Amino acid sequence: MAKWKKVAPEEKHKLAGRLRAALARKKGVTEKSMFGGVCFLLRGNMLCGTGSGDFMFRVGKEGHEEAVARPGARAMVMNGRRMAGFIWVDPGKCDARRLKSWIALAAAYVADLPAKKASSLRRNRRD
Protein backbone atom coordinates (compact mmCIF):
# COMPACT_ATOMS: atom_id res chain seq x y z
CA MET A 1 0.00 0.00 0.00
CA ALA A 2 1.36 3.40 -0.95
CA LYS A 3 1.71 5.88 1.88
CA TRP A 4 0.01 9.25 1.67
CA LYS A 5 2.84 11.71 1.15
CA LYS A 6 2.99 15.27 2.40
CA VAL A 7 3.10 17.82 -0.40
CA ALA A 8 4.02 21.48 -0.11
CA PRO A 9 1.10 23.89 -0.59
CA GLU A 10 2.86 25.41 -3.62
CA GLU A 11 2.91 22.01 -5.33
CA LYS A 12 -0.80 21.47 -4.57
CA HIS A 13 -1.63 24.88 -6.07
CA LYS A 14 0.50 24.15 -9.14
CA LEU A 15 -1.27 20.82 -9.81
CA ALA A 16 -4.71 22.32 -9.20
CA GLY A 17 -3.79 25.15 -11.57
CA ARG A 18 -2.96 22.68 -14.32
CA LEU A 19 -6.34 20.99 -13.92
CA ARG A 20 -8.14 24.33 -13.63
CA ALA A 21 -6.59 25.53 -16.90
CA ALA A 22 -7.44 22.29 -18.71
CA LEU A 23 -11.05 22.49 -17.45
CA ALA A 24 -11.52 26.23 -18.05
CA ARG A 25 -13.91 25.85 -20.99
CA LYS A 26 -15.84 22.85 -19.69
CA LYS A 27 -19.41 23.74 -18.64
CA GLY A 28 -20.88 22.43 -15.39
CA VAL A 29 -17.55 22.15 -13.55
CA THR A 30 -17.25 23.23 -9.93
CA GLU A 31 -14.25 23.16 -7.61
CA LYS A 32 -14.19 21.95 -4.02
CA SER A 33 -11.48 21.42 -1.41
CA MET A 34 -11.50 17.75 -0.44
CA PHE A 35 -9.11 15.16 1.00
CA GLY A 36 -6.31 17.68 1.51
CA GLY A 37 -6.39 18.68 -2.14
CA VAL A 38 -8.74 20.13 -4.71
CA CYS A 39 -11.46 18.19 -6.51
CA PHE A 40 -13.26 19.22 -9.65
CA LEU A 41 -16.84 18.09 -10.04
CA LEU A 42 -18.94 17.79 -13.18
CA ARG A 43 -22.63 18.43 -12.45
CA GLY A 44 -21.82 17.66 -8.81
CA ASN A 45 -20.04 14.35 -9.42
CA MET A 46 -16.32 13.98 -8.72
CA LEU A 47 -14.39 14.14 -11.99
CA CYS A 48 -10.75 14.68 -11.08
CA GLY A 49 -8.52 16.31 -8.52
CA THR A 50 -5.20 16.52 -6.78
CA GLY A 51 -3.82 14.85 -3.72
CA SER A 52 -0.59 13.49 -2.35
CA GLY A 53 1.32 15.12 -5.20
CA ASP A 54 -0.57 13.35 -8.00
CA PHE A 55 -3.58 13.86 -10.20
CA MET A 56 -6.67 11.76 -9.49
CA PHE A 57 -9.22 10.78 -12.13
CA ARG A 58 -12.54 9.00 -11.78
CA VAL A 59 -12.84 6.57 -14.68
CA GLY A 60 -15.39 4.08 -13.36
CA LYS A 61 -14.97 0.38 -12.66
CA GLU A 62 -15.39 -0.54 -16.33
CA GLY A 63 -12.52 1.73 -17.39
CA HIS A 64 -10.21 0.92 -14.49
CA GLU A 65 -7.97 -1.74 -16.06
CA GLU A 66 -7.49 0.21 -19.28
CA ALA A 67 -6.66 3.33 -17.28
CA VAL A 68 -4.01 1.72 -15.03
CA ALA A 69 -2.25 0.48 -18.16
CA ARG A 70 -1.57 4.08 -19.25
CA PRO A 71 1.85 5.66 -18.55
CA GLY A 72 2.21 7.07 -15.03
CA ALA A 73 -1.09 5.61 -13.78
CA ARG A 74 -1.74 3.43 -10.76
CA ALA A 75 -4.80 2.28 -8.87
CA MET A 76 -5.93 4.38 -5.94
CA VAL A 77 -5.61 2.59 -2.62
CA MET A 78 -7.04 4.14 0.53
CA ASN A 79 -6.77 2.51 3.96
CA GLY A 80 -5.61 -0.72 2.30
CA ARG A 81 -8.63 -0.86 0.00
CA ARG A 82 -8.35 -0.57 -3.78
CA MET A 83 -10.74 2.10 -4.99
CA ALA A 84 -11.92 0.62 -8.28
CA GLY A 85 -12.62 3.33 -10.81
CA PHE A 86 -10.26 5.90 -9.27
CA ILE A 87 -6.74 6.38 -10.66
CA TRP A 88 -3.67 8.27 -9.47
CA VAL A 89 -1.55 9.73 -12.28
CA ASP A 90 2.03 10.96 -11.94
CA PRO A 91 1.98 14.62 -13.07
CA GLY A 92 5.52 14.29 -14.41
CA LYS A 93 4.23 11.81 -16.99
CA CYS A 94 1.19 13.90 -17.86
CA ASP A 95 1.86 16.69 -20.34
CA ALA A 96 -0.96 19.02 -21.53
CA ARG A 97 -2.08 16.59 -24.25
CA ARG A 98 -2.21 13.62 -21.87
CA LEU A 99 -3.94 15.71 -19.21
CA LYS A 100 -6.73 16.53 -21.66
CA SER A 101 -6.94 12.85 -22.57
CA TRP A 102 -7.32 11.89 -18.90
CA ILE A 103 -9.99 14.54 -18.41
CA ALA A 104 -11.86 13.27 -21.49
CA LEU A 105 -11.74 9.70 -20.16
CA ALA A 106 -13.06 10.77 -16.76
CA ALA A 107 -15.69 13.06 -18.28
CA ALA A 108 -16.99 10.24 -20.49
CA TYR A 109 -17.69 8.21 -17.36
CA VAL A 110 -18.99 11.02 -15.13
CA ALA A 111 -21.26 12.44 -17.86
CA ASP A 112 -23.41 9.30 -17.61
CA LEU A 113 -23.98 9.77 -13.86
CA PRO A 114 -27.10 11.59 -12.68
CA ALA A 115 -26.49 15.22 -11.71
CA LYS A 116 -26.40 15.97 -7.99
CA LYS A 117 -29.09 18.16 -6.48
CA ALA A 118 -28.51 21.93 -6.59
CA SER A 119 -28.32 22.23 -2.78
CA SER A 120 -25.11 20.19 -2.74
CA LEU A 121 -23.57 22.38 -5.47
CA ARG A 122 -23.93 25.81 -3.84
CA ARG A 123 -20.47 25.92 -2.26
CA ASN A 124 -17.28 26.57 -4.24
CA ARG A 125 -18.94 27.36 -7.59
CA ARG A 126 -16.57 28.04 -10.46
CA ASP A 127 -18.97 28.74 -13.40
Q: What is the pLDDT of residues 18-28, one digit of tens each?
A: 999 999 999 99
Answer whether residue 127 is part of any domain: no
b/e per residue, 42-64, with b = 16+ CB within 10 A?
Answer: bbbbbbbbbbbbbbbbbbbeebb
Q: 16 in a domain, yes or no? A: yes
Structural domain contains residue 118: no
Whether the pLDDT of residue 36 is over 90: the answer is: no
Domain CATH for 58: 3.90.1150.30
CB 73 within 8 A of CB 58: no
Element (H, E) at 42: strand 37-42
- Single pTM value for the model: 0.86
Is 79 part of any domain?
yes
**Residue 125: inside a domain:** no
**Helix, strand or coil, per DSSP, at residue 12:** helix
Encode pLDDT of 82-116 as tens digits.
Answer: 999 999 999 999 999 999 999 999 999 999 999 98
pLDDT at 79 (0 to 100): 86
- What's the mean pLDDT when you consider all of the chain? 88
- Is position 2 within any domain? no
Q: How many domains does the chain have?
A: 1
Instruction: Report the percent of the chain where pLDDT is more than 70.
Output: 88
Q: Find the helix packing angle between 96-110 and 9-22, rounded to 10°.
A: 70
Per-residue model confidence (pLDDT) at position 10: 85
Q: Which residue would you say has higher pLDDT here, 66 or 6?
A: 66
Instruction: Check pLDDT > 60 for residue 122.
Output: no
In a domain, 31, yes or no: yes
Q: Which domain holds residue 43?
A: 10-113
**Would residue 119 count as lying in a domain?**
no
